[in-house]
A and B are shown apart, each in its own frame.
Chain A
Amino acid sequence: MTIAKALRLAIAEEMRRDPTVICIGEDIGIPGGWGGAFTVTWGLEREFGLERVRNTPISEAGLIGAAIGAALTGLRPIADFQYADFMFCAADQLINQAPKMCFMSGGQIKVPLVVRAPVGASTRGAQHAQCPEAWIVHTPGWKVAVPSTPYDAKGLLKSAVRDDNPVFIFEHKLLYGSSGARAEDNAVQVDEPVPEEDFVVPFGQAAVRRAGRDITVVATHLMIYRALQAADELAREGIELEVIDPRTLVPFDYETLCESLGRTGRLMVVEEDTRRGGWGAEIIAEIAEKHGDLLSAPPMRVATYDVPIAASPVMERFAVPDAARIRDAARKMLEV
């Protein structure tokens, strides 16, 4: 099962389980349409109807505000951006409204809201390429999930729907498993069997994707697969990377990370977001401040260079970390 199908299955199961769950977004719930930009909600209107799979005009502030208002008053909306880049059109609702409502009320109201957004460079140019997780990670009041496998996509989305707080789920365009007319160049196929029965992936529990003794690599989304590729190459040289997928950035599983660092002593963060002020910097700072004794070498970031993403595939490939950059960084780290 692909990630797109796993997400769709999770939404359908939650909508069956709880009649207050609704979907709201652009180009969803259009019979004959696409199910959002990346097919995640495709066909759901056939089972749940257009009232609960609610298409909107291109009104990001309007639809996120509507989702917040609905969440305040008894519904559990799953709101849908076509591209994460578009979330900035709804910045007031995402930064000033949703994550502050519970707080401003002194804890008297809850906002069970899920927002989904596709990230990642995919040869579409600078405004359909960003990985803006850090903007939300920085904002108190949000939980942030970053599924990179079909199993996690289903389990994290179900956890998000059942959470009584705003949860942002960032999904990667090249991991959805889109096919046919919607296939993506350079996509990574991450099909795996996903249980049909009900399960959740709890927040704040990282997954170790590969065990290794030399360097602990924290990565999300596409960067996990690039780190795993680099790890395979480095293994031939006798260098072993341990690759950790945090699965949620807020809350972040520092326990698993520290346990790993206790063995490797070296921390590398690989992120597709631009480097300056990214979530990777936050993790490194947290470890340096509180667990610096675990580190035997300076930590390192491998991230997209601090530029917008160019449309040319050649330039895009240069700006975003690939396996070779991760490999080179790992070698350099071990020279120290």
Chain B
Amino acid sequence: MNGLDALNPGGRPPPLPEAETAIALYAVMRRIREFEDRVFAYFRAGRIPGTVHQYQGQEAVAAGVCAHLRRSDYITSTHRPHGHAIAKGIPLQEMAAELFGSPAGCCRGYGGSMHMGCFERGMPPASAIVAGGVPIAVGMGLSCRMAQAGSVVACFFGDGAFNNGAFHEGANLCAIWDLPVVLVCENNFYAASTHVTLANKIPRLAERARSYGMPAETVDGNDVFAVYEAAGRAVARARAGGGPTFLECLTYRRCGHSRRDQNQYRDPSEEACWMARDPLDLAGVRLVAEGAATAEDLEAVDRAAAAEVQEALDFAEAAPRPQGEDALRHEFWEAEQ
């Protein structure tokens, strides 16, 4: 099974956005893929400390949603935040430096992989407690609504968050207060190693989300143009004061849950089906087939992404490291110096 059977019943793919946007979506996905692949190599080589939860395979979700966000909009993220951070515009150098635990990192080395964030670009440190970011997105949405500046919040979480009380409380608050929040559920079929069907009796998570009193839909989360189209409606609705939307994006990890996970719990036929649906390949084929880009155009994008990522990692590896006693700073806010 691939979980996609009931989607797109008419068989008509979502329309391609205009060429410039379509290529930009591809480029964001490529930057994420390149970053994650290179980071994994560095990690395996022992050059990056800690742990990593990688985003390969889910790039279309972050790219398709964040393409609609302004710098003044907010996102909340999870223990798997690199893709969201890249799509929200955090510079790769600052992200890479954060992975190395450097003061040049976007959280100055205090956050690390799982708490990636950069508030001036609308991303507080990601919450590595599953569903923990959902109530926080509620409050950010409340601020946006009270400020009446048309800002919105995209709240990213996985299928694993769906059965946590914090998700339920947060989703309900979004609904009863009509908040400008897009709840983006990245259903990658596995909460760590637990399959989504072991954790839910219903076939579509959007079914339950609808019962909070908000629009909810399930989209092919490996089709960046499908995500882009659905997220566009959800973000526009939020901006216009229409309240929250739940987007269930069906997608799949092309990597393990975390650093050394070999995915030995996955069904081979399910895995084969999804591995054949690489979001970058799907987008690239359409871009070329529909004349939005040439193969050479995409190769140039790929090369640029590879160079940018390598430059970021080179910068980060050479960036200064903190002093041990820096660990004692920032328990409390220090007044502007």
Contact = CB atoms under 8 A, between A and B. Distances in A.
Contacts of B107: 104-106, 108
Report, as a range, how many residues of chain B touch the other chain.
Answer: 35 or more
Nearest to A140: B331
Given A92-B166, A105-B111, A106-B110, A68 B139 contact: yes
B134 interface: yes
B12 interface: no
Contacts of A97: 127, 129, 132, 136
Contact of A65 (B111, B136, B147): B136
Nearest to A141: B331
B143 A165 contact: no
A230 to B, nearest CB: 36
Contacts of A111: 333
Contacts of A63: 135, 169, 173
Contact of A105 (B117, B165, B331): B117
A51 B146 CA distance: 8
A127 interface: no
A101 B139 contact: no
Interface in A90-140: 92-93, 96-97, 100-111, 140
A61 B166 contact: yes
B139 A66 contact: yes
Contact of A73 (B111, B129, B144): B144
Residue among A56, A65, A143, A164 with most chain B CB within 10 A: A65
A144 to B, nearest CB: 13
B265 interface: no
B125 interface: yes
Given A57-B176, A107-B333, A165-B333, A72 B139 contact: yes
Which residue, of A56, A68, A104, A164, has the highest number of chain B Cβ atoms within 10 A? A104
A160 to B, nearest CB: 13
Most chain A CB atoms below 10 A, which of B125, B129, B139, B143: B139
A240 B97 CA distance: 60
B313 interface: no
A187 interface: no
B325 interface: no
Contact of B173 (A51, A57, A96, A100): A57
A74 interface: yes
Interface string B135-179: 111111111101100000000000000000110011011001000
A65 B76 CA distance: 12
A292 interface: no
B201 interface: no
Given A73-B143, A109-B124, A62 B169 contact: yes
B169 A59 contact: yes
A35 interface: no
A70 interface: yes
B282 to A, nearest CB: 34
Interface size range of chain A in the complex: 35 or more
Contacts of A71: 139
B119 interface: yes
B119 A109 contact: yes
B110 A103 contact: yes
Q: Give the one of A57, A60, A61, A109 with max B CB within 10 A.
A: A61
B110 to A, nearest CB: 4
Given A73-B144, A106-B330, A62 B136 contact: no
Contact of B165 (A57, A61, A102, A107): A61
Contacts of A105: 107-108, 110-111, 117, 119, 124-125, 330
B135 A62 contact: yes
Interface string A50-94: 010010110111111111111111110100000000000000110
Contact of A70 (B134, B143, B170, B176): B143
Contacts of A51: 146
Contacts of B170: 62, 65-66
A251 to B, nearest CB: 10
A94 to B, nearest CB: 11
A301 B108 CA distance: 42
Given A97-B132, A101-B124, A110-B333, A62 B146 contact: no
Nearest to B116: A104
B143 A104 contact: no
A102 B119 contact: no
A73 B140 contact: yes
A324 B294 CA distance: 88
Contact of A141 (B119, B124, B332): B332
A146 to B, nearest CB: 19
B225 interface: no
A306 B88 CA distance: 50
A96 B119 contact: no
Contacts of A66: 135-136, 138-139, 142, 170, 173
Given A66-B170, A68-B135, A105-B330, 4 more contacts: A61-B169, A106-B107, A108-B119, A109-B119
Interface of A: 22, 51, 54, 56-57, 59-75, 77, 92-93, 96-97, 100-111, 140-141, 143, 164-165
The 6 closest A-B pairs by CB, nearest first: A65-B135, A69-B139, A106-B108, A62-B169, A73-B143, A70-B139
29 contacts: A22-B146, A61-B135, A61-B166, A61-B169, A62-B138, A62-B169, A65-B134, A65-B170, A66-B135, A66-B136, A66-B173, A68-B139, A69-B135, A69-B137, A69-B141, A69-B142, A72-B140, A73-B74, A73-B143, A74-B147, A75-B139, A92-B129, A92-B132, A103-B110, A104-B110, A105-B117, A106-B108, A109-B119, A111-B333
